[in-house]
Structure 1
Amino acid sequence: MTTGGAFWGRAEQQDFRSRVRGTLLGTAVGDALGAPLDGLTLEEIREAHGAQGLTDPAPAYGRRGAVTDLTQLTLFTVDGLIRAQVRRDTGAWHPPTDLHRAYLRWAATQHDWGPDERRTDDGWLAREEWLYVRRDPARACLLGFGDTTMGTLDAPKNPGEPGPEAVARSAPFGLLVGWEPQLVVQLAMECAAQTHGHPSAYLSAGAYAALVHALARGEYLDAAVQRALALLAERPGHEPVTEALEHALGAVRQGLPTPDRVEELAGDGGAEGALAVAVYCALVGEDVRHGLCLAVNHGGPSSAAGALTGGLLGALHGETVLPPAWLAELEGRPTMLVLADDFAMEMTQGPALHGPASSSPAWLTRYPRA
C-alpha cells in the first residue's frame, strides 16, 4: 500500500474505500444512536427505553438518525485532510493549518443561516445545507474556533478542557494509511489542541487515531491497542490515557459485559474514559449492533462513546457490517458516502488529480488550493 495510486491494486483500493466508508458511517451511526441519551443517567435511560436500555435508534433533534456536532466536525476533518493533500503540490504544506481552516468552515455553519455562495474557495462540503444546524456543540469547540487564532501543542486553546469532543472527530487521521503511525498521532494531537488543550484530551485523540490507523491497515483491535500503548509511552503526560486503555483491556477478562462496567470505564466523562469505553465495547460486542448499544447505554457521554466505537468497528470491518436499517435513516448519509469516496480517491490517485503532470479542474473546484 502507498499513497501513490500506481501501487494500489484494485482489491486494495476496494478494501480501503470500504474501510473509509465504514469509519465515517460508523462514527455517524454511533453518534446518532447515542444522541438521545446524552445527559441522561443510566436509571433515566432504563426508565425511558426499558430494562435493556436503548436497542434501536430513537428520535433526537426531531428525527431518528440525527447526528451531532461530532459527526459534523468529523466530516470537516476529512475535508481538511483532502485539502491538505491538494495543497501539498504547491509547496505550502502545513496540515494543522489546513485542518484549522476546515474547522473554521464548520464554525461558519454554526452561526450562518446557510452557505455563502460568494465564498468560492470554501469547496463543496461547506455548501451542504443540511450541515447548517446547531446540535449542542461543546463550548470548547465554539471557543476554540471562535476566532482565527490556531491553538497548538505549545499554546493550546482551552488548556483545562478534558472532554471527548476532539477525540470524536479524530478518526479520519487514522485513515492516512500511507503515513507512519508517529506522524498520524502527532497530527491528531496538534489538531485536538485547537480546542481541547488538556493533555488527556489531545493524547486520547492521538491514541484513537493510532487505533484507526492500525485497523485501516488490516490489524486486529487487540494488536492495535498494543501499538497505541507503545506510541503513547513516548509522550509526556500519557499515564491517564494509558491507564484507561489498560483498564479497558482488563475489563474484557471480567466476564459478560454490563452497562455498569461501561459506566465505570466512562468515569467522569473525560476523553480517556470515552476512549476506554469504545475499545472495550468494540472488543466485547457480540456484533456491531451489540457493541454500539453497549457503548451508548450509560450515564457518560453517549454520543461520543458511540461515535468512537462506530469508528473503530467501521475501520476494522468496513461498511458492510453496519446495520442497513440504521444507515437508511442516517442524516447526511449521501454526503458522507461522497466524501468518503473522494478521500479514498485522493489517497490512492492524488497525483493524477492534481499533480504537476496533470490536474482535474473539477477536483480543484471541489477542493480548492486557496
Structure 2
Amino acid sequence: MSIESGIHTVPSPESRIHGCLLGGALGDSLGYAVEFDAITAIRERFGAVGLQDFSALDGGSHFSDDTQMTLYTVDGLVEALEWANSGVGADANACLWLAYLRWLGTQGGTVPPAAPVPQQRWIDAQQVLKHRRAPGNACLSGLSTGEMGTVYRPVNPQSKGCGTVMRSAPFGLIPHIGANAVYKLSSDAAALTHGHPSARQSAAYFSMLIHHLVEGLGLQAAAAQVLGGLRADAAAVPELVERLEAAVRLAAEAQDPEVPHGVLDPEGLVRELGEGWVAEEAFAVALYAVLATAPKGADHSHPEEHFRAAVVLAVNHSGDSDSTGSIAGNILGAYYGEECLPAEWLEVLEAPEVIRGMAAQLVAVTTG
C-alpha cells in the first residue's frame, strides 16, 4: 500500500509485482549473510541486536537460490501465459518444470536423458543466476530424477523442506484467477521437487496469501483468510495449521500493549515457530515477522520502517535466515508495492536489473 500525505492509495499491479520480487530478494540477501549461523554467532559478529542493515556487511551480500528459483518460477509462468495470450493452450506445470530444469543446469546439475531438452530463454543468459548459492538438496535431487513429479506421483515423497515456499510468491501475483487456481498452480509446482503434503500445502497457502494481498486485503485480513481456509481444509496437515495458528496468535500478542513480552526474541522465535528449514516453519516465521512488526491501528505511513523491522526480525535467528527473510520480503512487497523498499538497500542489491527484467516480463503478460 503506498501512502501520500498520510492518505492510503492502492499500489498498481506493476508496483506490487516489482515490490514482491525485489522485496523477496532483499530479504533473501540480508538473510543469506547469516543463513548458517547460530544466533550466538550473529550477535558476536554484529552486536547484541544482530544484523540490522546491509551497511554492516563488508562488500554487501548476494541473493541465494531462493531468489534464483523465484525468478525461474516467474519465467515458467511467463512462458505459459505467452502461449495462452497467443491463443495456444499450454500445460503451466510443464512450463514450470522446464524452467526448473534450466535452473538445475545453472547449478551444475545434469538434466537426465529421459527429460525433454528445454529451449533457452532470456533468463538463462543472466550470469548472476548461474552462481551456486547453497541450493536445496530436494530441489536438486527431485529435478535430477528426470521425472515430472505430481501430487499423485511425487518425487521426494518425504521431503518437506522450505524450497517450495521460498519460490512460490509469483503464483499469487497472477491477476484475474481465483484463489483455488492459485492454490492448484502452486501445489502442483511444489510437487515437482517435494512430495510431502506440508511442502505442497505451505507453498500453496503462501501463494494464496500473496493473492489475497494483491486483491486488496490487509495483512491481518489476508492472514485470517488463509488460516480460515486452512482450518476448513479436511486434507490440511496438522503441523501447518499449528504453526500458522501460533504465528498469528503470537503476533497479536506482540501487538497488544498489555502482554508483557512483546515481540519474541530470536530464541523465543525458534522455540515457538521453528528454525525455518522445513516448509511450514519458514512460512510461520516470516508471517509472524510481518504481523508482529506491523504499524498499530490505522498508521501505515511508514512502510519502509515496517519492511526493515520485519526483515530484520525474520533473519536474526538460528535457522534458515535467507528463506524466512525472502518470504517476509515477498509479503510486504506485494502488500505495499515498491514504496516499502529502502532505497539504500536497493542500491546494494545484487543484479536488480535482472529482477526488474523478470518483473517486467510478468507485468507485460498479465497487464498488457
Same fold (TM over 0.5): yes
1:23 to 13, 17, 20: 20
* Contact 2:243/2:273 (8 A) holds in 1: no
From 72, 82, 101, the counterpart of 1:76: 72
1:263 counterpart = 2:259 = no
Does the 8 A contact of 1:259 with 1:297 survive in 2? yes
* Aligned position for 1:254: 253
Deviations 1:243-294 (A, max 9, x none): 1111011101333212233222441532111111111111122511011000
1:32-43 mapped onto 2 (5 Å cutoff) = 32-43=29-40
Match of 2:290 in 1: 282
Q: Residues 266 and 300 of structure 1 are in contact (CA less than 8 Å); yes or no, is this contact kept in structure 2?
A: no
Contact 2:165 2:203 in 1 (8 A): yes
1:192 is matched with 190
Cross-structure match for 1:5 = none
8 Å Cα contact 2:150-2:188 kept in structure 1:
yes
Q: Does 1:241 align with 2:245?
A: no
Cα offsets for 1:9-42 (capped at 9, x unmatched) = xx98x70000000000011000001001112111
Superposed CA RMSD in Å reads 2.1
Query: Matches of 2:308 and 2:128 in 1, distance apart?
Result: 26
Gaps in structure 1 of 5+ consecutive residues: 1-10, 114-118, 350-370
- State the alpha-carbon separation in 2 of the partners of residues 193 and 265 from structure 1: 28
Please give the alpha-carbon distance, in whole angstroms, between the structure 2 residues aligned to 1:35 and 1:288.
Answer: 17
Question: Which runs of 5 or more structure 2 residues have no equivalent in the other structure?
Answer: 1-8, 111-116, 255-261, 295-305
Q: Which residue of 2 aligns with 1:180?
A: 178
The count of aligned residue pairs is 332
Q: Percent identity?
A: 37
2:253 maps to a residue whose letter is Q
Aligned mates of 1:299, 1:235 — CA distance in 2: 33
How far apart are the structure 1 equivalents of 2:88 and 2:79? Answer: 13
Partner of 2:365: 346
Q: Counterparts of 1:99-118 in structure 2 under 5 Å?
A: 99-111=96-108
CA distance in 2, matches of 1:65, 1:328: 12
The within-5 A match list for 1:72-221 is 72-88=68-84, 89=86, 91-111=88-108, 121-221=119-219
Q: TM-score, normalised by structure 1?
A: 0.85
1:47 to 14, 35, 44: 44
**Alignment partners' CA distance in 2, 1:37 and 1:234:** 36
What TM-score does the superposition give when structure 2 sets the normalisation length? 0.85
Deviations 1:269-324 (A, max 9, x none): 32111111111111122511011000000012100100000000000000121111
